[in-house]
Amino acid sequence: AVPLVVAVSTSLSAGNGLLIRDRAAFERARNLNAVVFDKTGTLTEGRFGVSDIALLGEGDENEELAFAAAAESQSEHPIAHGIVAEAKDRGLSIPKASDVRNITGEGIVANVGGEDIRIVSPGHLARTGKEISDPRLKQLEGQGKTVVVLVRSGAPRALFALADIVRPESKQAIAELKSLGIDSVMLTGDAHGVAEAVSEELGITEFFAEVLPDQKSDKIEELQRRGLAVAMVGDGVNDAPALVVADLGVAIGAGTDVAVESADIVLVRSDPRDVAAILGLSRATYRKMV
Ligand code: ADP
Ligand code: MG
């Protein structure tokens, strides 16, 4: 039978916007030491808008944007939505793309009018021996903006900076966890400079940046090897393996089905402050039982 305090607490949590899918994980929540948050879509809204376009040589801003939008128009990534929306806002006609291929966590490749078009992260280019040295890259990233590079037939042509909105509740969520004695860590596929700027804004002391999708769960294990009991909070398909490996996996309610199905607890309201509520509720529930 379900102990009364747990039953009461579970209905209480439903009223608080928490969907508890795994009761044992909820019990473990009272002993957590650290909470790892995915950045995009979790601490931020994950809705990107183009804020700056920096040409890397001769060229026309609108032409480069139209090519980028062509490749991105078949992608579901929030960066893709931001680029396509900007091209449409400017009334540009977007050429057709074919052979579109995702490089998960790194960018997209397509054929546009016979040209090889890539929109990729600066980190991806650096790993393939084409580091971007233009100072505007670090400057934009330092403002917390995500920067992607348009590469046409092998030549980097433009930087697109995209601004996301930090959820207004995120800063308070981090502060509440701190008051409960729990450290917050940020995990992102985005660049070091962006992670640093957003962490600073939110009062997060530790972050992992430029983490490829298949490495996210490794970072959780790295923290667990330090002896920490770790919760992971995420929204995306990429976050699912990390949610499973974590001592407590928490999905943002507005996230993907894969994330929700991999989680122990779902934040129905998509409010990161509800993570602190889970810990408080778990502590209160299981304290009464011993
Ligand atoms: P996060 O870990 O922040 O949720 P992702 O793993 O989805 O981010 O993506 C990491 C990085 O890969 C992005 O910051 C971007 O540089 C690049 N990227 C991924 N998909 C795309 C795309 N469709 N267009 C351009 N860049 C992309
Ligand atoms: Mg995300």
Q: Is the same domain home to 158 and 61?
A: yes
| Residue at a domain's end among 130, 163, 196 | 163
**How far is the C-alpha of 104 from the C-alpha of 111, rounded, in Å?**
18
Q: What CATH number is associated with residue 153?
A: 3.40.1110.10
The pocket of ion ligand 2, defined by CB under 5 A, consists of: 38, 40-41, 235-236
CA-based radius of gyration for the chain:
21
Distances (CA, A) of 250 to 179, 229, 233, 239, 258: 20, 14, 5, 10, 12
Q: Is the same domain home to 103 and 234?
A: no
The whole domain housing 221 covers 4-44+167-289
Q: Is the same domain home to 72 and 210?
A: no
Q: Is the same domain home to 157 and 268?
A: no
Number of domains in the chain: 2
Q: Is the same domain home to 172 and 280?
A: yes
Ligand 1 contacts CB of residue 188 (under 6 A): yes
Q: Is the same domain home to 18 and 40?
A: yes
Name, in order, each residue with C-beta under 8 angstroms of 270's C-beta and a sequence gap of 6 or more.
252, 253, 254, 255
Q: Is the same domain home to 177 and 269?
A: yes
Name, in order, each residue with C-beta under 8 angstroms of 83's C-beta and a sequence gap of 6 or more.
50, 65, 68, 69, 72, 119, 148, 160, 162
Q: What CATH number is associated with residue 37?
A: 3.40.50.1000
| Residue at a domain's end among 146, 163, 180 | 163
Q: List the catalytic residues.
A: 38
SS (H, E, C) the chain: CCCHHHHHHHHHHHHCCEEECCHHHHHHHHHCCEEEEEHHHHHECCCCEEEEEEECCCCCHHHHHHHHHHHHCCCCCHHHHHHHHHHHHCCCCCCCEEEEEEECCCEEEEEECCEEEEEECHHHHHHCCCCCCCHHHHHHHCCCCEEEEEEECCEEEEEEEEECCECCCHHHHHHHHHHCCCEEEEECCCCHHHHHHHHHHHCCCEEECCCCHHHHHHHHHHHHHCCCCEEEEECCHHHHHHHHHCCEEEEECCCCHHHHHHCCEEECCCCCCHHHHHHHHHHHHHHHHC
Distance 100 CA to ligand 2 centre (A): 22
* 161, β-bridge pairs: 52, 147
Q: Is the same domain home to 198 and 62?
A: no
| Residue at a domain's end among 163, 197, 212 | 163
Mutational test site, ligand 1, from 42, 190, 194, max ligand atoms within 8 Å of CB: 190
Ligand 1 contacts CB of residue 40 (under 6 A): yes
**Is residue 94 a contact partner of residue 65, using CB atoms and an 8 Å limit?**
no
Distance 78 CA to ligand 2 centre (A): 10
Neighbours of 121 (CB within 10 A): 22
Q: Is the same domain home to 62 and 140?
A: yes
Distance 253 CA to ligand 2 centre (A): 12
Neighbours of 117 (CB within 10 A): 24
**In a structure prediction context, what are the per-residue pLDDT tens digits for the chain, which is 290 residues long?**
556 555 556 656 666 788 999 999 999 999 999 999 999 999 999 999 999 999 999 999 999 999 999 999 989 899 999 999 999 999 999 999 999 999 988 999 999 999 999 999 999 999 999 999 999 999 999 999 999 999 999 999 999 999 999 999 999 999 999 999 999 999 999 999 999 999 999 999 899 999 999 999 999 999 999 999 999 999 988 899 999 999 999 999 888 899 999 999 999 998 999 999 999 899 988 876 65
For tokens 């209160």, name the residue.
284
Q: Is the same domain home to 180 and 285?
A: yes
Q: What is the pLDDT of residues 21-77, one digit of tens each?
A: 999 999 999 999 999 999 999 999 999 999 999 999 999 999 999 999 999 998 989
Ligand 1 contacts CB of residue 253 (under 6 A): no
First to last CA, the chain: 17
Q: Is the same domain home to 171 and 237?
A: yes
Determine which residue's CA is closest to atom 27 belonging to ligand 1.
107
Distance 256 CA to ligand 2 centre (A): 9
pLDDT for 253:
86
Q: Is the same domain home to 214 and 270?
A: yes
Ligand 1 atom closest to the CA of 146, numbered from 1: 14
pLDDT for 3:
60
